Copies of this chain bind each other. A is one copy, B any other.
Amino acid sequence: MGLSDEKDAPRLLSEIASYHAHVYYDRLKTRPVAEWLRAAIGERFLVRLGNWHDEKVGPHDQSMFQVSFPNDVFTSLVPWLMLNHRGLSILVHPNTTNPRRDHLIDPIWIGTPLLVHGESLPDEHEAEEALLPNTTPTVVA
């Protein structure tokens, strides 16, 4: 199993165009925690906070909101979410040209992993760049 064999070649970081974090919550029980977390993220990180999805949307099996962020935010936002998820489940996945693999095989989970309906996702797609930020961070993480 030589590292020189092409089939064994590791995938490159340059495949990653951006990231999404999906912050899951229970509409009846943990929405206030998600509201706290969303506000705290917006105060600290230059990211795109997506809409509230109290109803299930896309491949997601629970209420959630999305955070879209560029590669250079990973190093601060992800550790901060590790320290501050407060029991919520958070999926962080890369955006490459294979959304199905990004969501099902290659993500990070913070908190308890949840079901993701990956069968609805394409395995070939243009890699999504980070969406335009809509936050104005003023607080150091």
Contact = CB atoms under 8 A, between A and B. Distances in A.
A107 interface: yes
Contacts of A71: 79
Contacts of A107: 82, 110
A13 B83 CA distance: 8
A131 interface: no
A115 interface: no
Interface residues of A, number: 38
A108 interface: yes
A80 interface: yes
Given A40-B10, A83-B11, A108 B78 contact: yes
A28 interface: no
